[in-house]
Amino acid sequence: MTSEISEGTAAARALAARLPGWTVWYGEHTRRFWALSRTRRPAGASHAEAGTAEELERAVRLIEDGAAPASPSAPAREAPAPAREAPAPEAPRHGPAEAERDQRRAPARTAG
């Protein structure tokens, strides 16, 4: 574990040297690489995180180019499926168990 942390820290330092406008670090507990922009971005992301130094560098480059990256560790998302009509509700079933259940759900009636 200690060697993994020191390797991650070394990789983060090397990446920080290639990304002068960013603060880069390796999270010892998360075991993920992180970058925070030192400049105010007009819109979009100002930080990134990834599982490897290479993924983080790609994410930062996308941010610098004006594209908001998806999380590098997340799978690519497909376009949403077209909306479907909701199925028609089933007709109520009135067997003995359902009748008892419906009776329990009915509001209590008070004599009055």
What is the per-residue pLDDT across 40-90, written as a single tens digit (0 to 9) for each?
Answer: 766 666 899 999 999 999 999 998 888 665 554 444 333 445 556 666 666
Decide: 56 and 50 in contact? Cβ < 8 Å.
yes
Paired with 50 in beta bridges are 33
User: What is the C-alpha separation between 74 and 49, in angstroms, rounded?
Assistant: 11
User: What is the C-alpha separation between 57 and 24, in angstroms, rounded?
Assistant: 10
DSSP 8-state class, residue 94: -
Whether the predicted pLDDT of 105 surpasses 90: no
Which secondary-structure segment (H or E) carries 59? Answer: helix 53-64
